[in-house]
Structure 1
Amino acid sequence: MNFKDQVNVDAVARDSLEKLGYKQEMTRVCACASILLNATTYSLVAFGLTSPIATSLIGGGPAVMIWGWILVSVLTQTLALSLAEICSKYPTSAGTYYWCYRLASPRTRLLSSWINGWLTVVGGWTVDLSVKFATAQLVVAGAGIYYSEWDATALQTYMIFLGVTAIAGIFCIFFNRLLPTIDIICACWTGLGIIVISTCLLAKAAVGRHPASFALGNFDPSFSGWTPGWSFFIGTLPELNHVSAYTFSSIGMITNMAEEVYNPSEILPKAITWSVPIGSLTGVLFLLPILFTLPDVNTLLQVSSGQPIGVMFTLIMGSRAGGFGLWFIIFGIGMFCSMSTSCAGSRATWAFARDKAIPFHRRFSKIDPSLGDVPVNAYALSTAIQVLLGLVYLGSSAAFNAFAGVAVMCHGASYAMPIAISLMDARRDMHDAPFNLGGFGTIINAVAVLWIMFVTVLFSMPAVIPVTRWSMNYASVVFGGFGVISAAWYMINGQFYYRGPPIQEDSTSSSGSSDSALH
């Protein structure tokens, strides 16, 4: 795209955004290739599938890992298509809570957008938190390769988490203009890393190779204690964690970058829909070498840290150096992922503050042009909340682990809401969407909503039974807690100041909305 065409595209995008009720504040720096790479960054398969691998081993092993991954990917494609359709018509950083406001009836749209906005923001915070903490736990696993006797304390893990958070913050705040380049580096690192890992595992296989019947069909639910059928779905939690928390559910987080993308009505739907098949294929290619060379499951599950990735790579490679080399690839992907989720979470916070839905909204909706139009205050708020939530780990690792489930539940519910509202209105608002699902739209939307409902229930269940205070899943408790806080703030403040996202007719008829539109 030459400079003249770029200027024309920017002008069209700016006019379209103003018709949606917002003034252009962010600098549009992301082209099609960049945002597609950004989508790939969110779908960091190697990181998302290996960091919680213990749960898949508990739930049933190889059969769960490969077939669960394929099942989850197919069902999540319906969600991606549904979101892409709505996003093509309403491409704004406000995302799903804006969509709820536009799609719901005048009687319910204010409350719907408030609930959805808080689901989106809390989901962004908890996704970012879980990614950074998983990266910190990877550091512990990497150290365990050479210092197997070291058992990291909760405080030590928390301090590593703070280090990961600081590094991500430096890049997201001071190198914002370089983020498209960082996305390209991340995509190259991920692609080459998966090739290197797969080749090394198949070449060495120090603990032996398994036949296809084991790699594709071995299923042992005895570790979980659940019935075989439910154990299979419990075993898919890492796939769901990756698909929902790290990747495909986080496809909605791509929409938070809408006001930094050229021609968002065309580019964002492509990024959202293609992230699923690209991630699915990559996941299959990454999982198969692991399943054909998998060490003894009992040995992996006995790792004291609960993170067996370092031990697994070391056993397969037959040396600590080899295991550490493969671990370092995964760690690098985790750091890239931390930067991406930090960026998206801060944008969601900024967009909601812009619409006066967050305490001290004037401060948190400011943009710092000297740093490349970075919402520094919103980023600081998002980071501060995560640092405080991380303290929960010092008291109870079981309670803290619920935050990954909360991220899935929040994002899933926030994505399902506008789809469900559109369905109940017979999809009348979608007939002129640039990316249109046509006659298949009703079926695709219905499957997406039912899938999210099932996932929400699944993430409320413990991985093993009988349940103890250490194995208890506190996701539903934490999810409900955030709901109570959101409702309380609405009663205290929201009902007096929140008027919903500005839309074109609001910006001409209401001074309050006009202020928001021209913030």
Structure 2
Amino acid sequence: MMDFKDEVDVDAVARAGLEKLGYKQEMTRKLNASQPVTLAIMAVPFGLTSPIATSLVGGGPVVMIWGWILVSVLTQTLAFSLAEICSKYPTSAGAYYWCYRLASPRTRLLASWINGWLTVVGGWMVDLSVKFDMIFLGVTAVAGIFCIFFNRLLPTVDIICACWTGLGIIVISICLLAKAAAGRRSVSFALGNFDPTFSGWTPGWSFFIGLLPWDWALNYALAYTFSAIGMIVNMAEEVHNPSEVLPKAIISSVPIGTLTGVVYLLPILLTLPDVTTMLQVSSSQPIGVMFTLIMGSRAGGLGLLFIMFGISMFCSISTSCAGSRATWAFARDKAIPFHRCLSKIGPYLEDVPVNAYALSTVIQVLLGLVYLGSSAAFNAFAGVAVMCLGASYAMPVAISLMNARRDMHDAPFNLDRFGTVINVIAVLWIMFVTVLFSMPAVIPVTTWSMNYASAMFVGFGMIGAAWYMINGQFYYRGPPILEEPTSSSGSSESVPY
């Protein structure tokens, strides 16, 4: 643990590094370690429990446990790839800044514009989906109070979140294994049972279908739990020693999340009630019924749900904070309407981009109200979040690959000779997830079960393109660069992207 003098020295170095990237220090660096923030954003138990109907439809225990491990392994390649780029460019602008620095002069302006809108929309959708899985307006209000008026306490809140999550998993696991009122399952069932008949898809595709969200309430999926690992980058300008801390946080979040998920899932699979009974729940959200059946009483089920609510509440605070920083950073570079207003910090509330946070909240509330008129429309929001964030993560990695990774040779955290293979796997995984999250969970497809994520993804893209034609092409000049890159991406016109 560093003392005050070391902390000041590290902050001075970080401030100088940020100025070299083109920005002045406006936030106070108050985060010593960002792992708790990352864990809060992932909210592993909440993220794994919410899509349980999807997992059961897709095949059951095999999808839940082995699908989780498969997703974790593939996501680790993305985490390594993002950590490498982040170590060189640790700014709250995140992936759109990376695209600008890595792409050629011919294409970097448009690439950063596209990526910035993907990042901002993805952040809004992730935050919206977390809040909407609970008491929507109430949770939005509570998260706003913490993020605006208690911003200086966010490091403490994140530590409390980590403790609540760890203790919550222990309590839930002990309670489920001790009660098991619905009966106990064998280890072979928990690790090997696979029944794809509920989905209507072929067994192989049904397994992957179990990784995506299904029905309006299931705003998380196995792949979705890790979809926000890069959002911590938007807090870069509030972290001590970001070039070292952020890469470690991104990389370690996956194995920590994986272990947390396995420990949480196994007791559920060993005490899983009848699958048909759970899938017949009218709300298509069997979490409460599952806990009630296993605990043998409604009171026991509510007790476990309260623990889950706490985890999701902490998650909402973290995603709200990160999403507002993404909005603020993009406004700072004049890419959002009313950017002068949205890029202001304070002045009465220190370190809080209040206007950017307000915009993010208003948009989420308006989109949330769509559910009142069309559950099918809201059904796509979670998929859009994964697709937008995934695409925003993949773009700088893909550009780096097209540049033969020449820009990464001097990155403080370097993947060295393994970089190309790791980057390729990460990009291919994101491409596959994008297709996967556009698919309906069950066939035959009806108006109710149709997945409109791809349509909404294209819709948001058209809005971003329209704003670029109306305003962006005249005012957006990309992130400021005080030190022009010396590698091929900034000096060569022959670079393909």
Bigger fraction of residues in helix: 1
Matched with 2:367 is 389
Query: CA shift at 1:186, angstroms?
Result: 0.5
3-state DSSP of counterpart to 2:197: helix
Aligned letter for 2:4? F
Please, what TM-score do these two structures have when normalized by structure 1? Answer: 0.91
Pairwise CA distance, 1:307: 1.3
Aligned-partner Cα distance in 1 for 2:288–2:223? 24
Describe the SS at the equivalent of 1:237.
Answer: coil
1:240 positional shift:
11
1:28 aligns with 2:6: no
- How much does 1:372 deviate? 2.5
| CA shift for structure 1 position 41 | 1.0
CA displacement at 1:45 relative to structure 2: 1.0
Q: Work out the CA distance in 2 between the residues paired with 1:448 and 1:439.
A: 16
Task: Pick which of 84-93 and 383-392 moved more.
Answer: 383-392
Structure 2 partner of 1:331: 309
Q: Give 1:123's aligned amino acid.
A: G
- Give the structure 2 partner of residue 131 of structure 1: 130
Cα drift, residue 369 of structure 1:
4.0
2:453 aligned with 1:475: yes
Correspondence for 2:489: none
Query: Per the alignment, in what secondary structure is the counterpart of residue 356 of structure 1?
Result: coil
1:225 is matched with 200
2:120 match: 121
Q: Residue 353 in 1 paired to residue 354 in 2?
A: no
Q: Note the alpha carbon deviations across 1:342-374, whole angstroms, 9 max, x for none.
A: 000000000000000000000000000432210
Shift of the alpha carbon at 1:391? 1.5
- TM alignment of 1:93-492, pairs within 5 A: 93-134=92-133, 136=134, 160-237=135-212, 241-242=220-221, 244-245=223-224, 247-492=225-470
The structure-2 alpha-carbon separation of the partners of 1:353 and 1:243, relative to structure 1 and needing over 3 Å to count, comes to farther
Q: How many residues align?
A: 480
> 1:98: Cα distance to partner?
0.1
Q: Does 1:76 align with 2:75?
A: yes
* 2:176/2:294 contact within 8 Å kept: yes
8 Å Cα contact 2:212-2:222 kept in structure 1 = no
Contact 2:271 2:294 in 1 (8 A): yes
Superposed CA deviations along residues 281-325 of structure 1, whole A, max 9, x for unmatched, are: 110010000001000011111111121111101100111111111
Instruction: After TM superposition, give the deviation of residue 505 of structure 1 in Å.
Output: 4.3
2-structure distance, mates of 1:467, 1:129: 26
Question: Aligned partners of 1:476 and 1:31: how far apart in 2?
Answer: 39
> Gaps spanning 5+ residues in structure 1: where?
137-159, 508-519
**Contact 1:72 1:240 (8 Å CA) reproduced:** no
The equivalent of 2:57 in structure 1 is 58
1:11-68 deviations in whole A, cap 9, x for unaligned? 1000000000000000100002xx1111111221110011121111111111110000
Contact 1:463 1:471 in 2 (8 A): yes
**Which amino acid in the other structure matches residue 197 of structure 2?**
S
Alpha-carbon separation, structure 2, partners of 1:240 and 1:306: 12
In the TM superposition, what is the alpha-carbon distance from 1:188 to its structure 2 partner? 0.4
TM-score in terms of structure 2 length: 0.95
Distance 1:216 1:103 in 2: 44
Alignment-mate amino acid for residue 81 of structure 2: S
CA distance in 1, matches of 2:150, 2:18: 26
TM superposition shift of 1:399: 1.5
* Paired residue type of 2:38: A
Deviations 1:72-91 (A, max 9, x none): 00000000000000000000
Q: Which residue of 2 aligns with 1:143?
A: none
Q: CA deviation at 1:249?
A: 2.3
Tell me, which stretches of 5 or more residues in structure 2 are unaligned?
A: 486-497
CA distance in 2, matches of 1:226, 1:279: 29
| Distance verdict in 2 for CA 1:91–1:14, change over 3 Å | same
Contact 2:85–2:408, Cα closer than 8 Å, also in 1: yes
State the Cα distance separating 1:123 from its structure 2 match.
0.2
